[in-house]
A = this chain, B = another copy of it.
Amino acid sequence: MPPSETFRDAALIAVDWGTSRLRAWLLDPRGGVLAEAASDDGIGKVADSHEAVFSRLAADWPSSTPAVMAGMIGSRQGWREVPYVACPATASQIAAGVVRFDAGDRAVAIVPGLVVRSGEGDVLRGEETQIVGLIDGEPAFSGLVILPGTHSKWVRVEAGRIVGFQSFLTGELFDLLSRTSFLRHSVKDDGRDLSRSPGFAPGVRRTAIEEQPFLATLFPVRVRQLVGSVDPGDNLAYLSGLIIGGEIAAARASGRLMPGTPIRLVGSRSLGRAYRVALDLVGFPAETRDGDELVRVGLVHLARVAGLL
């Protein structure tokens, strides 16, 4: 059966193209998944042209199906630089900032990121699409959307509008501290689920409840193991708790986290669970949403508003 026969319902390719990963879904007109593909060709690693990399990934799919893409693919280092849209922004305003061009027979659209120009300013690329996906499913949602990761984002949503956000280096800092800094001698990744290890909650409490300044909590991670003989696997959980708790404390200090604020946590597996456990400890229960699904739904929503679907 030739591809054109297999995928005769194909209407859109939704693409999440970040710094380290490239994922794509072939969708029917209602957003149903016909096929999916993924590779490690994040834009940080693409040696070939972006067009060649994408053509390879989608080789088995119809060559004329339009593609809508979100993430760092729209940055200066991406396929086409897509100017940021100013925040506050609605899904329509984001769709209006989409950059469209042709690649062979295919129409390609890249979604813009968002910029906050007030205060210290902030930027994001990719998360706007997940938020659009979340708003698509919960149009009346007002509250906080937390997207943990290398650079965690805390996004404020009010009735269909993204009104502001704040970024934290949490994931990157955790990697640097646990793998590169001298703390690496005191922690060990033995594959355990960190938020289920006994050290995690005391770490969260240290920074988020006892409100110890984050910078005062790091050297003691070494001392716990050197003097206190704490198990290095559990000490990694403690360090994770310190950092996630520190992020929560910092977000609370800037007024983004208040009692009763509805919270959606966009993540899956262990990282999402770790944030949920930490937020619970601090008294902020959160509902979890699947990030992959949100990005797909968001891309379909934006493609529709932009007239690609």
Contact = CB atoms under 8 A, between A and B. Distances in A.
Interface of A: 115, 117, 120-123, 151, 166-170, 172-173, 176-177, 180-183, 212-216, 218-220, 222-224, 226-228, 243, 246-247, 249-251, 253-254
Contacts of A120: 220, 223-224
Contacts of A169: 181-183, 215, 218-219
B122 A216 contact: no
A213 B249 contact: yes
21 contacts: A120-B220, A120-B224, A121-B220, A121-B223, A123-B226, A123-B227, A151-B219, A166-B219, A168-B216, A169-B215, A169-B219, A170-B215, A172-B182, A173-B215, A176-B177, A180-B180, A214-B214, A214-B250, A215-B249, A216-B250, A216-B251
Nearest to A245: B215
Contacts of A180: 176, 180
A250 B219 contact: no
A276 B243 CA distance: 29
Question: Which 7 pairs show the lowest CB-CB distances between chains A and B?
Answer: A213-B250, A167-B219, A216-B250, A120-B220, A215-B250, A121-B223, A169-B218
A194 B210 CA distance: 34
A246 to B, nearest CB: 5
A226 B114 CA distance: 13
A215 B246 contact: yes
